[in-house]
Amino acid sequence: MAADLKGKVQTVLGPIGPTQLGRTLTHEHLMIDASPLGANVPCPPFLPNMNSLPFTMENLGFIRQFPWSYKPNLTLYGEEKHVIEELKFFKQHGGSSMVECTIVGLERDMNMMKRMAEESGVNIVSGTGYYVDSALPSEVHSATQEQLVSTMVHDITQGAAGTDIRCGVIGEIGTSWPVTATEKKVLQATAAAQTQLGCPVIIHPGRNKQAPAEVIRILAEAGGDISRTVMSHLDRTICDHDDLSAFAKLGCYLELDLFGIEVSYYQLGDFDMPSDAQRIKMIKHVLDEGYEDRVVIAHDLYTKHRLMHYGGHGYSHILLNVVPMMLARGISQDQLGRTLTHEHLWIDASPLGASVPSFPPNMDTLPFTMENLGFIRQFPYSHTDNLTLHGEEQHVAEELKFFKQHGGSSVVECTTVGIKNNIGMLKTMAEKTGVNIVAGAGYYVDSSLPPEVHSATQEQLVSTMVHDITQGAAGTDIRCGVIGEIGTSWPVTATEKKVLQATAAAQTQLGCPVIIHPGRNKQAPAEVIRILAEAGGDISRTVMSHLDRSIYDKGELSEFAKLGSYMEWDLFGIEVSYYQQVTDLDMPSDAQRIQMVKHVLDNGYEDRVVIAHDIHTKHRLMHYGGHGYSHILLNVVPMMLARGISQDQTIIMNGNNTDIDLQDYLYGNPYDHLYAYDDILDYLYPSGQEENGLDAASNQPASLPFRVALGAVYILIIVVCGVGNFVFLAIVGRYKKARTKTNLLIANLALSDFVVAILCIPFSLDYYVINDRDWRYGREVCTLVNYVKMVSLHVSTNALVVIGIDRYITIVRHRWRRLGKTSAILVSLGVWIASFLIAIPSAKFSMVQSGFHRNNAFCGVVWNAKHLAVYRGYYGGMLAFQFVLPVVVMAVCSLPVVWKVFHRELPGNLTEAMREKVQRSKRKTLRLILILALFVLCWAPYYVYAALRDFHHVLTLSALNTNIFYAVEAAAMGNSVINTCVYVAFNTNVTNFLRLLLKECHGLQERRGSDIQEMLPSDDEDDEDDDFTLLSSYVGDINKTCIKLDLLGK
């Protein structure tokens, strides 16, 4: 180490002693541009224009859920003023130092860091080094290891980025998984630089639980000091306690540095992001195993939405919110001091104990703004204005419309006596939004009830609830439809017991469902069930709410499930670990809720589970930066399917609340045997049975042989159909003689085939074969490809029918009026217009949907489940009118032609030329029969498959589904190559024109009109005998066009 750094910590303002560090966050970013790293992260399918949204509170819920999709969120440049304000706030609340880990590849600015340190008074230690391979400039890839060492040493001993401002740590050194050659070179250079300087190293591991150990191995082999190495991001890499213990034995520092990220869905990997409570449990585990001086924590704040100014937790979240939780969960003051004060990273010193500053201030003095939203989310019950939805009717109505737009249908609104229900407002909302709203009758917890409820008899309570459901509630004729939520405390009070007994009596009279709010104790749900059962209530039609804040243990859940009630997890969207109403209880994350749901489903209680949001505060509305009423539909359902809950098991009760003063409950879509509503949610997910493309019916990857076979067919289509149809169109356009009526009709097929081969098939090749159903081109291109294929399908089919009928009239019905060229052009125009119109649904319902299991994006046509009848009618019609009817028409038209060719009477004095013509006609007719047979053989498997999938669900969940699809797709698509060959390559007239065209293009010979005439058949030959060949090619070509059905949203 340089002499002036020995025993010191180098900050951007100069060296300080390790004991001057104080409370230190070891992994933060104060300026960063991570936008190149998010360039390929798609927008959510329900919000394809997300990047055009303004950064406002109304959009914050989307940004928090999909932070990497919103490109303006991925840089802190331009936020210097806000960052300095938050650094001052950090220092004001006990913070002292930060390690700033922005390095080469993330746009470091040393001068800006120095200004921030000077203005805020926070010690800032800057990092040197290189980020992940994909972010590095070319000169790093080409540099030698010695050059990299020299640069890092210079940054720490002399100054970085052309300044005299010195770094004080190496890192965060970025690695991917697996480690690339350049990253390995950087790691080896890091070890060499550390050996010279003796400073700490901070590592960014790849997103795989094997990655941290692999990096440690490479560093150790290169001579690095593992005891002074910090392994970052363990809270998104190694969550299992045993695995964490095993890794701790390697001797490095263990850094959990994503505190404040409490959204379960992790966009960058197939991984459930832990909550702060889970992080604390991980820390306590390794502390209890003796690694007290090996744990460091931070936020790794690198996006706008996590700044306090934009509604996030900010740099002070650990000090203000996490530290009290750590102390409350059994981490000692001494252990906390070691975790927050890190002078032992630089020297061997005793840890500094630390007291925790008190917080929050008087919350009610804070305005409801984005800047204060982080505080309100953490302490929602301390902000009085947050505790009512009255006055928010407009925003709630807008969100209900959004809920309906994205597949929602019904909600059960459980605001009852005690929390200021307004049934008239509920009716108005239902009328405005089109959402079915079921209002609840009954009484909330004892402390919220008016005196007349306490003094009422049980019979009076029964009478009121029955009247509310049978006549009308609150002096109106608007009737409730469910009893609940019935509120209880712990222990249950005398009034609450009276209400429960009245509830049981009312349920006996009405036979309706009952929804219960249990006290905040794990014994409360079973106690309420006992009281209801003793009073004669129907437990099988009772919903026990809020299990996600009452019963966590899986064994206890299984025991409670045996009581027979519905089990409701209804706090989805609340992903803040700290639960203000019961401070010794950790609020589970959405991922943990899904695990609990899956546990009871796997134990056979598939018809006993319902889920909801329980929105009862402003901050959870989308307008105020929350997740809103559509969170389950848009975000939770895909996670459930990706985590092994089957499509059949996602029969859910989806809800929240619209009218409430303290709590809300808008539950919806109950089971049909609980209440007479829809009993399935099949919403916008690639493995949906009714709504999605054939290609997306299974989330399993296709086997390599099937992908190769389909790829070969696609390449043949691009080459044969692209070139062949282009030649045909060029001939028709170049030579007036080639513009016969028949060729004009064929041109419709050639043009539609050519456009598909050139515009659509390359994207299909990439989607199905190269990337195994991972769409890379956005919703607009997906929509274009689907629409063009659909238009081509209708053009081809309708043109084939016209050609078949015309050939029948020409050969069999000579006296009937035939189409002329003008008529053929008009009919073709009508075919195209009709096709454009019929194909509109394929554009309207096209979307790109993220596949959360394999992190793929699926391109398909997605119909809403509530339109199932329309969907089946539409595609049933497609099957009938685009396959069955055309085959029948072509068969009816071709059989008389075959009969005439093989059985017509011929004069006995035929010349040799005439005999050859007759034999040629017979060969052409046999070719027609062959093409028809191949059409049936190629396409019948596809339509059998599609019918089974869409109308009987035999294949929907089959593991073989993907391979079956690839097989039938390859067979069906292969038929289109045959068609092109028949009406281009094997057509004598076309080949004659082609020879002429090639000679003209090469300038080999001047052609005169007589020369052209010699090469061409007579008009009669073109329009009569060759009609047999052309008809056969056209009939066969219908199979090609039907190829588009795989993307029609089957």
Give pLDDT tens digits for 907-932. Answer: 666 677 777 777 766 766 666 666 66
What is the per-residue pLDDT for 527? 97
Instruction: Based on the fold, state whether residues 663 and 703 are members of the same structural domain.
Output: no
Cα 334 off chain centre by: 43
State the average pLDDT over residues 935-958: 64
pLDDT at 788 over 60: yes
Measured distance CA(972)–CA(943) in Å, rounded: 10
Domain boundary among 320, 342, 359: 359
Task: Please indicate, yes or no, if residue 213 is contained in any of the structural domains.
Answer: yes
What is the per-residue pLDDT for 921? 66
| Percent of the chain residues topping a pLDDT of 70 | 81
- At 540, the pLDDT band (50, 70, 90 cuts) reads very high
What DSSP assignment string belongs to 818-877? PP-HHHHHHHHHHHHHHHHHHTHHHHHTEEEEEETTTTEEEEEE---GGGHHHHHHHHHH
- Burial class of residue 362 (count of CB atoms within 10 Å of its CB; 0-12, 13-18, 19+): exposed
Q: 971-991 burial, b if ≥16 CB within 10 A, otherwise e?
A: bbbbbbbbbbbbbbebbebbe
Give the count of beta carbons closer than 10 Å to the beta carbon of residue 244: 23
| Percent of the chain residues topping a pLDDT of 90 | 49
- At 715, the pLDDT band (50, 70, 90 cuts) reads very high
What is the per-residue pLDDT for 494? 96
The closest alpha carbon to 662, from 615, 607, 593, belongs to: 615
Measured distance CA(267)–CA(213) in Å, rounded: 24
Instruction: Based on the fold, state whether residues 434 and 324 are members of the same structural domain.
Output: no
Q: Please, which residues have CB within 8 angstroms of residue 337's CB and are 6 or more apart in sequence?
A: 351, 352, 353, 354
Domains in the chain, number = 3
pLDDT greater at residue 1041 or residue 700? 700
Q: Please, which residues have CB within 8 angstroms of residue 72's CB and are 6 or more apart in sequence?
A: 51, 55, 304
Task: Please indicate, yes or no, if residue 1040 is contained in any of the structural domains.
Answer: yes
pLDDT at 628 over 50: yes
Domain boundary among 631, 649, 667: 667
Please give the sequence-ordered ranges of beta strands (E in DSSP) within 459-599, or none if there are none.
Answer: 482-487, 514-517, 542-544, 566-569
Task: Please indicate, yes or no, if residue 257 is contained in any of the structural domains.
Answer: yes
What is the per-residue pLDDT for 804? 76
State the average pLDDT over residues 527-533: 97
Determine contact, residues 613/655, Cβ cutoff 8 Å.
yes
pLDDT at 277 over 60: yes
What is the per-residue pLDDT for 1024? 42
Measured distance CA(523)–CA(519) in Å, rounded: 8
Among 567-571, 732-736, 749-753, 1008-1012, name the most confident range: 567-571
Give pLDDT tens digits for 629-643. Answer: 999 999 999 899 888
Instruction: Based on the fold, state whether residues 561 and 432 are members of the same structural domain.
Output: yes
pLDDT greater at residue 853 or residue 177? 177
3-state secondary structure of 100: strand
Measured distance CA(541)–CA(532) in Å, rounded: 11
Determine contact, residues 940/975, Cβ cutoff 8 Å.
no
Alpha helices in 839-884 (DSSP H): 840-844, 868-879
State the average pLDDT for the chain: 82
Is 953 labelled a binding residue? no
Task: Please indicate, yes or no, if residue 307 is contained in any of the structural domains.
Answer: yes
The one-letter amino acid code at 878 reads M
What is the per-residue pLDDT for 4? 63
Domain boundary among 359, 378, 413: 359
pLDDT greater at residue 88 or residue 333? 88
Give pLDDT tens digits for 822-879. Answer: 888 898 899 999 999 988 888 888 877 544 334 466 787 766 544 666 777 887 888 8
pLDDT greater at residue 481 or residue 818? 481
Determine contact, residues 199/230, Cβ cutoff 8 Å.
no
Half-sphere exposure of 462 (CA within 13 A, CB side): 15
State the average pLDDT over residues 383-402: 90
Instruction: Based on the fold, state whether residues 353 and 394 are members of the same structural domain.
Output: no
Instruction: Based on the fold, state whether residues 751 and 608 are members of the same structural domain.
Output: no
The closest alpha carbon to 220, from 242, 241, 203, belongs to: 203
What is the per-residue pLDDT for 909? 63
State the average pLDDT over residues 86-110: 95
Task: Please indicate, yes or no, if residue 631 is contained in any of the structural domains.
Answer: yes
pLDDT at 712 over 50: yes
pLDDT greater at residue 998 or residue 367? 367
CATH code for the domain of 405? 3.20.20.140
What is the per-residue pLDDT for 859? 81
Q: 877-886 burial, b if ≥16 CB within 10 A, otherwise e?
A: ebbeebbeeb
What is the per-residue pLDDT for 246? 95
What is the per-residue pLDDT for 872? 73
What is the per-residue pLDDT for 969? 76
Instruction: Based on the fold, state whether residues 789 and 717 are members of the same structural domain.
Output: yes
| Bridge partners, residue 28, by sequence | 100
Determine contact, residues 141/68, Cβ cutoff 8 Å.
no
Instruction: Based on the fold, state whether residues 636 and 762 are members of the same structural domain.
Output: no
Task: Please indicate, yes or no, if residue 401 is contained in any of the structural domains.
Answer: yes
Half-sphere exposure of 882 (CA within 13 A, CB side): 26
- At 1029, the pLDDT band (50, 70, 90 cuts) reads very low
Is 300 labelled a binding residue? yes
- At 812, the pLDDT band (50, 70, 90 cuts) reads confident
Give pLDDT tens digits for 873-912. Answer: 887 888 888 788 888 888 888 788 778 777 766 666 667 7
Which of 242-251, 479-488, 555-564, 1033-1042 is predicted with the least confidence, judged by mean pLDDT? 1033-1042
Give pLDDT tens digits for 956-984. Answer: 333 345 677 778 877 777 777 777 777 76
Task: Please indicate, yes or no, if residue 55 is contained in any of the structural domains.
Answer: no
Is 631 labelled a binding residue? no
Q: What are the C-alpha distances in Å from 751 to residues 713, 732, 799? A: 20, 11, 12
What is the per-residue pLDDT for 851? 41
Task: Please indicate, yes or no, if residue 378 is contained in any of the structural domains.
Answer: no
Determine contact, residues 655/411, Cβ cutoff 8 Å.
yes
- At 989, the pLDDT band (50, 70, 90 cuts) reads low
Instruction: Based on the fold, state whether residues 341 and 429 are members of the same structural domain.
Output: no
Tokens linked to 500: 């429960």
Among 541-555, 742-756, 999-1013, name the most confident range: 541-555
State the average pLDDT over residues 789-807: 80
What is the per-residue pLDDT for 257? 96
Instruction: Based on the fold, state whether residues 107 and 183 are members of the same structural domain.
Output: yes
What is the per-residue pLDDT for 650? 58
Measured distance CA(939)–CA(933) in Å, rounded: 10
Which of 21-35, 162-176, 763-777 is predicted with the least confidence, judged by mean pLDDT? 763-777
Measured distance CA(210)–CA(852) in Å, rounded: 22
Instruction: Based on the fold, state whether residues 326 and 433 are members of the same structural domain.
Output: no
What letter would DSSP give residue 219? H
Measured distance CA(318)–CA(279) in Å, rounded: 12
Tokens linked to 545: 């709410």
Q: Tell me the Cα Rg of the chain.
A: 36
Determine contact, residues 611/569, Cβ cutoff 8 Å.
yes
State the average pLDDT over residues 936-947: 75
Question: Which residue range is the domain that position 1031 belongs to?
Answer: 694-1047
Assessment of whether the complete model's pTM goes beyond 0.75: no
Instruction: Based on the fold, state whether residues 486 and 536 are members of the same structural domain.
Output: yes
pLDDT at 392 over 70: yes
Instruction: Based on the fold, state whether residues 495 and 644 are members of the same structural domain.
Output: yes
Measured distance CA(1019)–CA(656) in Å, rounded: 74
